Chain A
Amino acid sequence: MRKIIITILVGVFLYGLKSNAQSDSIHYLNEVRLSDVKLRDYSKGNLVTILSDSILKANQPSLTELLRLNSTIFLKENGIGGTSTASFRGTNASHTAVVWNGLNINSQLNGQTDFNTISVRNYDNIAIRSGGGGVAYGSGAIGGSIHLNSEFKFKKHLEQRLITSIGSFRTTTTNYKISYGTNKLYASLGVDYIDSKNNHKYLGRRAKGKKNENGEFLNYNLNLNLGYLINTSNALKFFQNTYIGKRNFSGSLLSPSDDSYRDNNTRSMIQWNYFRNNFTSILSLAYLYEKYRFFPNKEELDNFSFGKSSNLIFKYDVNYKFSNDIQLKSIFQYEDVRGKGSDINAERFKRASVALLFSHQINKRLHYGLNVRQEINDSENFSFKEFKNSVEETYKDVINFNATTELTNNNPFLFSVDVNYAFTNFYSLKFNASKNFRTPTFNDLYWNGPGGIGNSLLQSEKSIQAEISNRFNYKGIDFGITGYFIKSKDLIVWEPISSTIWSPINVTKVYNYGFEANLDYIYKWKKNAINLTSNYSYTVSENQETKKQLIFVPLQTITSNLVFRHKKMNVFYQFRWNDDLFVTRDHSQKLKGYDVSNIGINYDLYNYKKTTYNLGLLANNIYNEIYQLTVGRPAPNRNYQIRLILKF
C-alpha cells in the first residue's frame, strides 16, 4: 500500500506539471555563498552538493539524520543518538573526512567523526564533496568529505532565529542563533540543545514488545564566530565550536546496557586574512581538543576509561590570481598532536604538509586543476618503542610486526587532477583522479589495553581513485550520473594474533566502484513551488582477498525529498531505501533492507517583513517500518514532532 502512495505522490505531482514547465525556476542552491575557496574554485571536477541553511533548519538537528535523508552515504548508528559513523561510497568509517571551516576534524584517537556530535543548525551551510580530497583536506578524505561552514557577513544586519521542537520519546530540541553585522564587524552565536529520553518501542515480533533502554542523551553545542574587517585588505576572524555530550549508550536485543558516555570536543581557530589585488593569504592558528569518558556502569561515576587528544595547527594559505582564469594556491600546514588515555600510551607526534593547487579556466567550456601534496611525519614515541620491543621479543614467534612495514613509505605524496568540460549549455562532463591516504590513529599506533596492542610501525593507508560525472542542466532540472572507482591498499585491520591479543596490521585491499545518479528539480508557478531531490547509488565495496562485499555497505540506496510549497505552507515527503546489509564478513548473516518515509507540514503563522513564525508538524517512519540500525538495534516506531521556527 505504501509503495503505491509513494509512487502516486511523486508521480502525480510530476506528471501534473509536465505541460506547465517554465524557465523561470531559480536554483536556490546557487544562492549559497561559499567562502571555502578550495571547495569553490579548486573542486570543479568533483561533485559538491551544498545543503543550504533552509535545508539545515528543516531537518533534524543531527548530522546523521541530515545525511541519511539527503545523500546516499550510509550511516551506521549504534542506536538513535549513539555513536554514528559514515560509509561514503562504501569506504570505511575513517574514510570520510569531516572538515570544519577548512580544517579536518576527524578524531586523532580513532580517525572517525561521530556524526551525532555535530549539530547542523549551528552552521550556515554544509557541503558534501564526493570523491578524494586528500590534497586539500588531508587524512581520511577518501570516500568524500563533509564540510561544516560558517559564513561571515560584513554588512549591516541583526538577525535572530529560534527553533524549538517537542516530540515523541520525550525529545526536545532548541536552537537559537543570533547574527549581527556592520560593514566592519561580524558576530554570530549559535546555541543548540537536544534532550531525549529515547525510549522508543522495538517493533517486530522477535522484539516481544521491548523498549529501547538506557538510551537517554543530552547534547549541547555552542558556536561562536567573530570577524573584524580592519581595512580594505585585512580581516581577523575567530571561529569557536564546543560540543558537550552526555549519553547513555542504549542496550540492544543482543545485550542490555547500563553504561554511559560523556564526550566533549572544542575547536577554536583564529585567522588573519590578507587580500590585495590578486593576492590573498590566510594565516590560521587552530586548537582542536577531544575527550571522552566511558562509564561501564552509569551509577558508578568514579569508574571509567578515557581518551583525549589535542591538535595544535598552524596553517598558511596563499592564493594568487595570475588572471581571472588562472590561479594558484599553496597550503602549508603544521600539526602538533598529543594523545593519551587509560588504554593508550601518552604520545606526541608532529606532522607537516605542503600542498600546491592550480586552477585554470582555459576557455568558457574547459577548466582543469592540478594539485599535489607532500606529507612529512615525525613520531616521537621512545617510551613506546621500548615497550614494543619487549612485546616483540615475547611474541616474536607469533607476530611479525615488520612484515608489512617500510618506514620510509610513511610520508605519502598525493596528487589530484580534475577537468570540467561544458559541451553545451545543458551538458557538462567532470572528471577527476586522485591519490589519497589515511594516517594510522592513536588507537592503531599506541593502544595498550584490554585485548590489544597497537602497532607503532603501521604505515598510512593508500588509495587511488578516478571518477567521471555527467551533468545535465535544463529548465530547473539538474541531473547527474557519476561512475567511480577507488582502489585502496594497506588498509589497517585489527586481527587476532593470539587468542587474547589483537593487533592492527596494514593488510587489506579493497576495491570500491559504482555509480550514482542525482536529480534536483525545481518548478515554480504563481505562488507555488515544487522541489524534488533524489539520489540513487549502486556501490560495490569488495575485499580483494575474500571477493566479498564489505559489511554494512548496501549495494543500492535511494533517497528522495519532495517539497511542495503553496503560499505560506509547505508539505514535504522524505524517503530513504537501502538494500540488505551483510553483517558478517562471510555473508552468513544479514539485515534486511528497508525503506523509511517521513512526512511533514510547515505553515507560516505570521509573516511580516523580517519576522516569521512558522509552525511545523512532522511524522517520522510513518509506515512503522520494522528495521534495524545495526544488529539487534531496532529503529524507532512511528513518531511525531511539533516544531516552531521564529525569525526576527
Chain B
Amino acid sequence: MKITRILLSLITVTSLFVSCQSDDDNSLIEPVSEERIIVSHEGASVSGSTSIISLDLKTVNNKFYDTVNEEELGVFQQSIGFNDDKAYIVVDNQNTITVVDKVSFKKQASITEKLKTPRYIAFANGKGYVTNWGDTSLATDDFIAVIDLASNTVESTIAVAEGPEQSVIKGNKLYVSHKGGFGINNRVSVIDLSTSNVKEIETLFLPDEMVLVGDDLWVSCEGTPVWRPEGESIGGLIKIDTTTDEITSSIEFPLGQHTSQMVFENGNIYYTVSNEIFEFAITETTLPTTAVTEGAINGMAIRDGIIYVVDAKDFASGGTLNTYDLNEEKWGTPVTVGVAPAKIYFQ
C-alpha cells in the first residue's frame, strides 16, 4: 500500500521542516559613540521600533531596542525624548514610557502608571512633562503628566484641553500644541510650571509642530482636513511672542493646502505640504509658491543644511531614510529602516 508510505513520508518531511526552523538572527552590533541618527518607528501591524543609523547612512541597525533588550515595545511608538544620559521612549497605545540608556538603549525602568495615550515628553527642573490624550473617545480627560525623573513615577497631572500634542519649554513655561487627538482642536496651552496655571491661545486648527526662535515660538497649524465632519479649514504658520504670549503673526495657507512637517535652521523654516518641501525665511511675510524639492515624507529633521526625511511607504513594509542636501540641491541614496518610521533625532 504505497499510499501509506507517501503519507508517512509527508508527515516525516513535515517534522523535518518544523525542526529546521531558524530564528531571525539579528546580530547585536555595538552602539557607535560618534554622532548618529535615531529613527523612531510607530509600527502598525507590527511593533514600533528604533533604528540607529550613522550620519552618512552607511551603517543601519534596525530594531535596536528589541535586539538589546529582547522585547518589543508595541504600537504606536510615538516619540523619543532625550535628557542627560537617558532616552525616554513614549508608546501611546501601551500607555508606557520606557527609560533607556541614551547610548546603549539598555532598558533601565518603565513608567506604566497614570499615563493614558502619552504622546511627547519635554524636560525641565528634573521633571518630565508628558502630553496625554487620555481616553481617545473623551474630549475632557486630557492632561499633562508630571514625571519625577529621579523615581520615574508620575507625581502629578495638569488638566488641559483636548488633544495635547507636542511641547516646548521656554524659561519656566511649557507650550503645548493641541492638535486635538482623535478630534480637532485649535489652541496652544501655556503652562506656568511653578503654579501649573494654564493659559490658552487660540490658533488655527490642528496646531502641531513648534520651533523656538529666540523669543518667538513658531507653530505649524495643519488646518482641518477635508474628510472631517466639521468641514475643511485653513492651516498656517503662526508666531507667538513668548514674552507676552500673544500671536504676533499668522500666515495662512490657501484652502486645500495642509502642512504637516516643520523644521528650522539658519533663519529658515522648512515645512511640507503634501509631498513637497518649502523654504520660508522667517523674516518674510508671504509664503513661497515654489517648492524646494518633493518626495514622500512621513517625518523630517534638519542638520547642517541637510534635510533628513523618512518615508513610511505603505506602512506594511520597511520605510526608508534619505537625505536632501540644500546646497547641492540633491537627494542621497535611501536606506531601508523599520515599519512606519516617523521621527528622526540626532545624537
Contact = CB atoms under 8 A, between A and B. Distances in A.
B256 A449 contact: no
Given A256-B94, A448-B227, A499 B260 contact: yes
Place the interface of chain A in its size category. Answer: 35 or more
A23 to B, nearest CB: 13
Contacts of B93: 254-256
Contact of A398 (B15, B272, B275, B318): B275
Nearest to B47: A254
B12 A556 contact: no
A584 B18 contact: no
B227 A453 contact: yes
Interface string A16-28: 0110010000000
B12 A303 contact: no
Interface residues of B, number: 60
Contacts of A534: 7, 10
Contact of A593 (B3, B6, B17): B17
Among A15, A21, A496, residue most surrounded by chain B Cβ atoms (within 10 Å):
A496
Given A18-B1, A394-B226, A558-B14, A588 B317 contact: yes
Contacts of A477: 3
Interface stretch (A5-13, A95-103, A275-283, A414-422): A5-13
Chief secondary structure at chain B's binding surface: loop
Contacts of B15: 3-4, 6-7
Given A588-B318, A589-B339, A560 B3 contact: no
Contact of A394 (B7, B12, B256, B312): B256
Contacts of A631: 45-47
A583 B45 contact: yes
Nearest to A6: B11
A585 B75 contact: no
B180 interface: no
B274 A7 contact: no
B152 to A, nearest CB: 19
Among A297, A390, A519, A589, residue most surrounded by chain B Cβ atoms (within 10 Å):
A589
Contact of B8 (A7, A255, A297, A496): A7
Nearest to A15: B4
Interface string A477-506: 101000000000000000110111100000
A579 interface: yes
B19 A3 contact: yes
Given A254-B74, A551-B316, A632 B47 contact: yes
Interface in A517-544: 517, 519, 521, 532, 534, 536
B21 interface: yes
A59 B275 CA distance: 53
A451 to B, nearest CB: 8
B8 A584 contact: no
A592 interface: yes
Given A7-B8, A18-B4, A496 B315 contact: yes
B329 interface: no
A501 B225 contact: yes
A300 interface: yes
Contacts of A605: none
Given A303-B137, A453-B227, A588-B318, A536 B10 contact: yes
Contact of A588 (B1, B135, B260, B339): B339
Nearest to A497: B274
A503 to B, nearest CB: 10
A498 B21 contact: no
A213 interface: no
B306 to A, nearest CB: 21
Nearest to A551: B316
Given A10-B8, A14-B4, A255-B94, A500 B260 contact: yes
A479 B3 CA distance: 9
A296 interface: yes
A14 B1 CA distance: 9
Contacts of B70: 206
B74 A255 contact: yes
A501 to B, nearest CB: 7
Interface string B81-113: 000000000000111000000000000000000
B298 interface: yes
A632 B73 CA distance: 11
B314 interface: yes
A496 B318 CA distance: 15
B72 interface: yes
A584 B318 contact: yes
Interface in A545-596: 551, 556, 558, 560, 577, 579-580, 583-586, 588-590, 592-593, 595
23 contacts: A3-B18, A3-B19, A7-B8, A11-B4, A14-B1, A15-B4, A206-B70, A206-B72, A254-B43, A254-B46, A255-B76, A296-B137, A397-B274, A452-B227, A498-B275, A551-B316, A558-B10, A560-B11, A584-B318, A585-B314, A586-B318, A590-B24, A592-B21
